[in-house]
Chains A and B, each alone.
Chain A
Amino acid sequence: AQSVTQPDIHITVSEGASLELRCNYSYGATPYLFWYVQSPGQGLQLLLKYFSGDTLVQGIKGFEAEFKRSQSSFNLRKPSVHWSDAAEYFCAVGSYSGNTPLVFGKGTRLSVIA
């Protein structure tokens, strides 16, 4: 069964600084990988996804993520954080064959300070 580990429970960055949120997955086959963002009291919004091809994927709101098969990682990055990026971020893994549901990590809460 697949699993996702997000090692950082809470990260605080200054506005304008760069950001990297870590995600490690465990899955025996080719994974589908996703990053979602959740603002307080809201549902989850898809930031980006990796299915195949280029290992560096671009998403909405200036986010990108890099798939590294050798490290079983799919870290999320943003070069310059805005105060509106403060939210909870979830990494999720699904199966390439499409026969198992998405499994989510426990999330990383991002705080942005002035």
Chain B
Amino acid sequence: DAGVTQSPTHLIKTRGQHVTLRCSPISGHKSVSWYQQVLGQGPQFIFQYYEKEERGRGNFPDRFSARQFPNYSSELNVNALLLGDSALYLCASSLSGYDSPLHFGNGTRLTVT
């Protein structure tokens, strides 16, 4: 069975640009969560979506947005990129909400120059 897939794997952007990251969950999983992992730190929660609705949002600015599609795939959008947005962005899927174990993809490495 395919795991969580994320695209692209690596991305280089310039300050002020916009970026879209994509995630396909494990088949049958209805929830997608996004985490940001800065080098040397643990993952920080950004969003969770369940059945196409936002269920939770972490302490991130409004430049960060996301959505979930009818097939349960998801996009994370970041506007007006800052150097500090450089990080590994992890997508995780789960069967339902926060009480289900998260299954992570390999992440998208975003570098902002």
A residues in contact (CB < 8 Å) with B? 4, 32, 34, 36, 41-46, 49, 90, 92, 94-107
Contacts and interface: CB of A to CB of B under 8 A. Distances in A.
A11 to B, nearest CB: 15
A99 B96 CA distance: 11
Nearest to A99: B98
A44 B43 contact: yes
Chain B, interface size category, equals 20 to 34
A49 B101 contact: yes
A4 B35 CA distance: 16
Contacts of B105: 43
B65 to A, nearest CB: 17
Contacts, number: 61
A34 B4 contact: no
A46 B42 contact: no
A98 B98 contact: yes
7 contacts: A32-B99, A44-B90, A45-B104, A46-B101, A95-B99, A101-B33, A101-B45
A90 B48 contact: no
Contacts of B40: 106
Given A107-B41, A107-B42, A102 B102 contact: yes
B103 interface: yes
Contacts of A104: 35, 42-44
Given A32-B99, A44-B102, A103-B45, 19 more contacts: A4-B42, A42-B107, A43-B105, A43-B107, A46-B101, A46-B102, A94-B98, A95-B99, A96-B99, A98-B96, A98-B98, A99-B97, A100-B56, A101-B48, A101-B56, A102-B98, A104-B42, A106-B41, A107-B41
